[in-house]
Amino acid sequence: MVSLNFTLSPESSVKIHDALLCLAKFSESVSIEARQDKALLSVFKGRIADARGRDSAIDRCEVSVQERPDEVECRLVVKMVHNQGVTKTYKLTYESVEVMHALFDKNMAQNRWKIQAGCLKEFIEYFGPKTEQLDIYSEDGRVTFMSFTEKITDGKNILKHPLQTAVSASTADFEEFSAQEKLHIIISVKDFKAIVTHADNLRADMSACYSQPTRPLQFSYGGEGMHCEFTLMTAGDYRGTPAPAPSHAVASRSISRAQSTASARTDNHPAPVEMPPPSESGSRASTRRNKVPGSARPPASSNLQQPQSDPEPLFVPLEEEDRRWDPVVYRDEEETLGWTLARTTITSLTTPSATQLQQLDLQPTTVQRV
C-alpha cells in the first residue's frame, strides 16, 4: 500500500508548473511517480495565472496518491483549493514503475563551466527557430554556441536551409570556465532552450559539466528550494587535441545525484528523468546523435501553455508594435462577429478543453462549492 500526501503552497505550485513545462519538452511522462506529465501539466495549467492573480488565486494545492489493491487503476489526486471557496479536483491515472536514472559520473566530467542562465537566455534568442543541433566549443578565450542543421545539399532547397547562428562570448563572462579548447560538444537546440528557459525563470546560475562527445553532459542549477539536473547525450568531435579518454566507466556506481526515488519531495526534485536524449520531432538527426528509442517528442507539447510558444522571441519591445503590420491570419471557420466573442473567452478559461481531458485520461473534474 503506497501512501503519499503533500500540500503545495501557491508559490510551489507555480514552481512545479514551470518545472513540468520544461520537462514536458523531453518526455510525456514524469518518472518519479510515473504519472502522465501532460495531464499533470494541464492541472496546473491556467492556474498559474490565477496564482498570481487576485480573485481565483489558489490557497493551496493538495496532492495524494490512491493505490489500493482493490482498485484497478492507481490515481494521483490533485486538489486545487481556491481562495474563493472553490475546490477543483483532478484525478490522474498513473502506473507504478521502476524509475530509471541516467548515469552520470561527475568525476569523469572534467570540462566545466558556469554562467548566469540569463546570459544563455539572451543567446538562445538569437537562434533560428528551426535549427536542430547546438555545437558548444571554446577557442582563444571565447566560447561559441552555434546552432545549425545538418546540411541539405540539394541545390534547389539550399535557400530553405535554416539560419545558422553562432553566438560567442568571452570566457570572462562566465562565472567559471574550465573546458578543453576546440572540444566540440553537440546537443539538441530544443533541449538546451527548454533548460535555459527554466533556469532563467529561477534566475539561477547554470552549470555544465561533460567529459567528451558521445558521453553524457549534465546541466545543473537550482535555487529557491529546487535543484535541477539534466543529463543529455552528446555528439560532436574533437577538432583540437584528443581528449584524455577516461576508462569507460559505465558501470560506475558513483551516480552523482541524491536519489529522489518515490520520495514525497516531488516539489524539490522535478528534474531527473530517464535519460533524456536530444530528440527531434523531425527525427532528421543522424544516427550518431544517439537516439534512444521511445524518445519521440510528444506531438501535443506545442499546444501546451509555454513561454516559448512564440517561435520568434522578441528582441525589443518595439517589435510588438511592429507586429501590428503583419498580415492577419484568417481562420476561415472561425466566426468573428461580436457576439461569438463570449464563447471564445469561455473556451480559453476552461482549458484543458474536453477533448484534451479525454486524451490525457483526466477524470471528470469535480467542482465543489464549499
Partner 1 sequence: MRFKATIQNIHTFTKFTASLASLGPVAWVRLDEHEVRFTIIPEQGTQVWAVLSIDTIFEHYTIQSAAANVINLEVPLIPLHRALKSALKATSASIRLTKKDNLPFLVLTITTNTFTHNALSSTITGFGGGGGPHAQSDSTHDTRNDSYDFHGPTPSHDFGPSGRERETVVTQDIPIRVLGQASVEGIHEPRCREPDVHILLPPLMQLKSISDRFTKLALTSHDGGTGGGGGRNAAASGLGPRLEIAANMHGCLKLSIRTDAMNISSVWTGLSNPELDAGQIEGGEEGIAVHPSTRMKELGDAQGKSEEGWAVCRIDGRDWGKVMSVGRLGGRVIACFCHEHALILYVYLSNDEEGGDESVLTVSESLPVSTEKMS
Q: Which residues bind partner 1 (CB under 8 A)?
A: 116, 118-119, 122-123, 125-126, 128-129, 142, 151, 158-170, 172-173, 175, 203, 205, 223-224, 312, 315-316, 318-319, 322, 324-328, 330, 332-333, 335-337
Return the residue matching grid coordinates 543567446: 123
230 beta partners: 219
Nearest distance, CB of residue 203 and partner 1, angstroms: 5
Q: CA-CA distance, 236 to 142, in Å (whole number)?
A: 18
Minimum distance of partner 1 from residue 147's CB (angstroms): 10
User: 222 or 246: whose CB is closer to partner 1?
Assistant: 222
CB of 186 to partner 1, least distance (A): 17
Which residue number, 147 or 301, has a Cβ lying nearer to partner 1?
A: 147
Beta carbon of residue 235, minimum distance to partner 1 (angstroms, whole number) = 19
365: nearest Cα among 46, 27, 5, 7: 46
Q: What is the 3-state secondary structure (H, E, C) of 260-293?
A: CCCCCCCCCCCCCCCCCCCCCCCCCCCHHHCCCC
Taking the C-alpha atoms of residue 198 and residue 183, their distance in angstroms, rounded to an integer, is 26
Which residue, 296 or 315, is less far from partner 1 as judged by CB? 315
Residue positions counted in the chain = 370
State the nearest-atom distance from the C-beta of 232 to partner 1, in Å.
Answer: 24
Q: Which is nearer to partner 1, 70 or 339 (CB)?
A: 339
Taking the complex as a whole, how short is the minimal distance between the CB of residue 129 and partner 1, in angstroms? Answer: 8
d(CA 33, CA 223): 23
Find the shortest distance in angstroms from Cβ 148 to partner 1: 9
Whether omega before 213 lies within 30 degrees of 0, making that bond cis, reads no
Task: Compare residues 10 and 216 and give the one whose CB is closer to partner 1.
Answer: 10
Whole-angstrom distance, CA of residue 104 vs CA of residue 198: 21
Q: Which three cell numbers stand for residue 134?
A: 547546438
Which of residues 33 and 267 has its CB atom nearest to partner 1 in the complex?
267
Return phi, psi of residue 21, to 5°: -55, -45
Q: Which is nearer to partner 1, 247 or 336 (CB)?
A: 336
CB 86 within 8 A of CB 57: no
Question: Nearest approach, Cβ of 316 to partner 1 (angstroms)?
Answer: 5
> Measured between alpha carbons, how far is 270 from 254 in angstroms, rounded to an integer?
21
287: left (phi over 0), alpha (psi -120 to 50) or beta: alpha
Q: Smaller CB distance to partner 1: residue 142 or 288?
A: 142
Separation in Å, CA 130 to CA 127, 148, 284, 295, 312:
8, 9, 12, 19, 11
